[in-house]
Structure 1
Amino acid sequence: MPAESRLAFAVTPNAAPVAANARSERLVDPGFGRVFTDHMAVVRFSDEKAWHDARITARAPLTIDPASSVLHYAQEIFEGMKAYRLEDGGTALFRPTANARRFQDSARRLAMPELPEAIFMESIERLVAIDREWIPQSDGGALYLRPFMFASEVFLGVKPASEYLYMVIASSVGAYFKGGAPAVSIWVSQDYSRAARGGTGAAKCGGNYAASLVAQAEAIRQGCDQVVFLDAVERRYVEELGGMNVFFVFDDGSLATPALTGTILPGITRDSLLTLARDQGLTVREQPYAIDQWRADAASGRLVEAFACGTAAVVTPIGRVASPEGSFTIGDGGPGATTMRLREALVAIQRGQAPDAHGWLHRLAG
């Protein structure tokens, strides 16, 4: 194994951590992405030294030069994953090596150095170990982990940077949608596309999400929770939501989800649900699905359920779909039996409440 594939992490505990009683108050209702832990992981990269200066340190603001290339050319990628508190008192990650591999894939697409899996894993494990008490005890609570990397070289010029900063921060989280959202409503974007063939749709980079925000804002104005994008060529086939993959459940018990063609993020939750559905004896198809077919199948009753999925929201039923042509309801507008059965099966594995036949749960020491 190359020397740079493993690094010794220096650990410097926060000299002024949040007091236990103040932390407990924040964990009662943390929401999503607003309550942060005491520490962060940092690793640097340069063409000269490769990966170096690995450390766990107090979470603090960054000081960067205004000519840092990320601010001008957007070389930036990230991941999203969770640490769970198990029923036996332990802590675990869910399929973290899949996140490590996707992080490498995103880096390759953005012309960035690929972080070795061993460094990715140690940065996550050490951060969770030092901030374990930030995992909420509440039902559905978890520690959301955000590994990210950006170009830190100070220069102006369109080329891959020669210096990068890799970091991991952690956030105590509850439900992604307020009120638990029994089912969300979706707005079909008519004027905006998320990604095109040859673009960065399969990479987890900030630019994809920045481009989706105007469409998401339009969805909110239309009284919907989320936006769904159609393909960039024919503006006909369903691709994915602003931050989640999408599944369809039919009256014969089968499922369908858009195929990975390079324009859709290969979600780890998506992949897990495909496996769990097949474990349950369900037929699953990865294929194109047109918006007019979605509307017709909902009207005829052939389509009985639809749901979105991702690390943050886990599995979220879709109850209503709206567009300038009008809106339609899926099933009775609430959670469907297949959707909830798959969600329960996934969550049970993540929480250590069910057998882990696929070896997805990565238990942490301590």
Structure 2
Amino acid sequence: MAAFGTQFMPQMALSQFDGRKWSAPAMVSSDHISLHPGAHVLHYASTCFEGLKAFRHDDGSVHVFRMDANIARLQQSTELLALPAFEADMLEQMILQALAAFSSEVPEPPGAMYIRPTHIGTEETIGKAAAPSATSMLYVLLSPVGDYFSGGLKPLRLLLEENGSRCAAHMGMVKSGGNYASALQPIMRARASVKADQVLFCPNGDVQETGAANFMLIDDNEIITKALDSSFLHGITRDSILTLARDAGMKVSERELSVDELVERATKPHAEAALSGTAAVLTPVGTLIRDGQEYQVGNGEFGPVTQQLRAALNAVQWGQSEDRHGWLKRVC
């Protein structure tokens, strides 16, 4: 299979807001969109998106995972970016319409159909640096994907960045392209200087998130992760993992975590750390790098609790265990 996220279905669902109303969603070619060079999104970054997956079960049926939560988060991002509002039912219809058209292309596990709803400002103006776009476009791309770690899942190396932030604090909970762009240079420098896989942003010693995933520390039967606020993305995979951890009787502590406490607890023999996200699910962290010094997390390997939680989430997604929380919606 092609590299993750580089293969697309030939059609996508699309609707446009003309300043008064949304057009009826339609399936259109996914190889291009038409935008004026002065479109608001190209100059003032009026863009947000989501990432979710649909999975094929053993009986051949296709189920989309936590679609309602992703739609609600895109509505939240839309509001925070002052883009035209849309009804949740319309985006659900678009996602299901696109999936129904290409249900036969949904891979078997561990593959999935990656779903990328995207909302962009389209007004033709370069005079609205301090005003929102009056028009917009909402579309849903589909990308069949294999295992994100097809080459094997190896514990990651994280550089702790205590001086900078991933993005502006009030924008952290918005899933917008600008937030990812602002993290690129620190990530590239970390890869070049200390061979880190990612940067864990910890402004003023406050452990937050990496450039593209939420962070969790696992100390025996306790998971510690930052409490929700506006400074970082409210991950749906994060929420799912924490829910399954509570189901398993683990203690979940959503609170402030300092870099000093992180390093102290992560270096215990049985400690684990992990990153959570839609693409990678739950990925182990084996090394923390701070001020040129490396700290091994636990035994530096893929720990048993991380394995257990990752397997538990996959089992629900793949229809191999009970969906106790109503996270799956059958498409066909």
Cα offsets for 1:112-135 (capped at 9, x unmatched): 122211111111111111122322
Find 2:185's aligned residue among 201, 214, 219: 214
Check if 1:195 corresponds to 2:167: yes
Cα offsets for 1:310-361 (capped at 9, x unmatched): 1011011111111333111111111111111111111000011101111111
The aligned residue for residue 331 of structure 1 is: 298
Q: Distance in 2 between matches of 1:114 and 1:318?
A: 38
Q: Distance in 1 between matches of 2:314 and 2:154?
A: 16
Find 1:361's aligned residue among 315, 328, 332: 328
Asked if the contact 2:84/2:134 (under 8 Å) is kept, the reply is no
Q: Distance in 1 between matches of 2:76 and 2:299?
A: 40
Q: Distance in 1 between matches of 2:136 and 2:149?
A: 33
Check if 1:141 corresponds to 2:108: no
The aligned residue for residue 9 of structure 1 is: none
Shift of 1:170: 1.1
Shift of 1:220: 1.8
Shift of 1:191: 4.5
Q: Which letter maps to 2:13?
A: A
The aligned residue for residue 44 of structure 1 is: 16
Shift of 1:300: 4.1
Cα offsets for 1:56-85 (capped at 9, x unmatched): 122221231111111111100000001111
Q: Distance in 2 between matches of 1:178 and 1:262?
A: 34
Larger deviation, residues 177-186 vs 263-272 = 177-186
Q: Which letter maps to 1:258?
A: K
Larger deviation, residues 222-231 vs 96-105 = 222-231
The aligned residue for residue 267 of structure 1 is: 235
The aligned residue for residue 120 of structure 1 is: 91
Asked if the contact 2:167/2:183 (under 8 Å) is kept, the reply is no
Check if 1:97 corresponds to 2:93: no
Asked if the contact 1:31/1:175 (under 8 Å) is kept, the reply is no
Find 1:314's aligned residue among 263, 266, 281: 281
Q: Distance in 1 between matches of 2:315 and 2:43?
A: 43
| SS in structure 2 of the partner of residue 241 of structure 1 | coil
Number of equivalences:
329
Find 2:252's aligned residue among 281, 284, 289: 284
Q: Distance in 2 between matches of 1:196 and 1:34?
A: 29
Find 2:213's aligned residue among 244, 249, 253: 244
Cα offsets for 1:249-296 (capped at 9, x unmatched): 113x11111111211111111111111111101111001111121112
Check if 1:305 corresponds to 2:276: no
Q: Distance in 1 between matches of 2:244 and 2:64?
A: 18
Q: For residues 48-127 of structure 1, what are the structure 2 equivalents within 5 Å?
A: 48=20, 50-127=21-98
The aligned residue for residue 12 of structure 1 is: none
Asked if the contact 1:38/1:131 (under 8 Å) is kept, the reply is no
Q: Which letter maps to 1:268?
A: I
Q: Which letter maps to 2:209?
A: E
Shift of 1:36: 1.1
Cα offsets for 1:164-212 (capped at 9, x unmatched): 0111111111233451323111122244311344x21001111111101
Q: Distance in 1 between matches of 2:162 and 2:205?
A: 10
The aligned residue for residue 122 of structure 2 is: 152
| SS in structure 1 of the partner of residue 305 of structure 2 | helix
The aligned residue for residue 169 of structure 1 is: 141
| SS in structure 1 of the partner of residue 97 of structure 2 | helix
Q: Distance in 1 between matches of 2:224 and 2:93?
A: 36
| SS in structure 2 of the partner of residue 186 of structure 1 | strand
